[in-house]
Amino acid sequence: MQNQTSPLLPLLADVPVIPVLEFQSVDEALHVSEALVTGGLPLLEITLRTPVALEAIKAVAAALPQACVGAGTVLTVEQLHAVRDAGAQFAVSPGLTPSLAEGAQGAGISLLPGVATASEAMLALEAGFTFLKFFPAQAAGGVPMLKSLGGPLPQLRFCPTGGIDVALAPTYLALPNVVCVGGSWVVPKDAVAGKDWGHIRSLAEQARALRSKG
């Protein structure tokens, strides 16, 4: 069992937002990632939702050693190994299956598994995970749900993701069991289409400045 503190937690001490990224090309991945890291968001979740995702992870990890590159939408143990081999330092899954929980032990990469209910959170805790993704955050009950989970499960910490924007983020970050939030608002599609990397950097700076609890 991986019943230990996630190595991601120290990296998130002053980083309140993990950008959730979906890239259409490696060139796009490099430009966007550089803008985000320069803006103060060094933890990047590159989702496995496009054909170039693995190549993008490999390229960004090599080009930006100061970044902590992660892979999102990891569903299987095979994908977990593939993203690790591509250079990802952490993996994020929308949920947690018994095979993924078992495969994550000793895999050489940190897994941030997703949960949406108290039962799922308990199963993740039983498997040794204490830092969890709360997904889909807004649809699964949002801030009230996380407050409710904090009572019976005080040992758990969360990264809520799904439906969160810059206006909602501070409310989540104010919760004692929330470490950070995941969001795609820092990379608007129109900014990517217009190659406005400066705007993305500014949004990253704004996100970095969001206040979490002390």
3-state secondary structure of 118: helix
Residue 213 maps to a domain: no
3-state secondary structure of 28: helix
Catalytic residue chosen out of the listed positions 45, 78, 195, 213: 45
Residue 27 maps to a domain: yes
Residue 8 maps to a domain: no
Q: How many whole angstroms separate alpha carbon 87 and alpha carbon 4?
A: 23
For residue 62, the tally of other CB atoms under 10 A from its CB is 12
Residue 7 maps to a domain: no
The alpha carbon of residue 13 and the mean position of all alpha carbons in its chain are separated, in whole angstroms, by 14
Q: How many whole angstroms separate alpha carbon 104 and alpha carbon 91?
A: 10
Asked which of 3-7, 36-40, 108-112, 172-176 is least confident by mean pLDDT, the reply is 3-7
Active site residue 133: yes
| Whether pLDDT at 1 is above 90 | no
Residue 117 maps to a domain: yes
Supply 56's token pair: 């993008």
Cβ burial 22-32 (10 Å sphere, 16+ → b, else e): bbeebebbbbb
Active site residue 45: yes
Q: How many domains does the chain have?
A: 1
Residue 1 maps to a domain: no
CATH of the domain at 120: 3.20.20.70
Catalytic residue chosen out of the listed positions 133, 189, 205, 213: 133
Residue 44 maps to a domain: yes
How much is the pTM?
Answer: 0.95
174 Cβ neighbours under 8 A, 6+ residues apart = 212, 213
Residue 9 maps to a domain: no
For the stretch 38-51, pLDDT in tens is 999 999 999 999 99
Q: How many whole angstroms separate alpha carbon 150 and alpha carbon 197?
A: 38
For the stretch 71-108, pLDDT in tens is 999 999 999 999 999 999 999 999 999 999 999 998 99
Q: Domain containing 100: what range?
A: 14-208
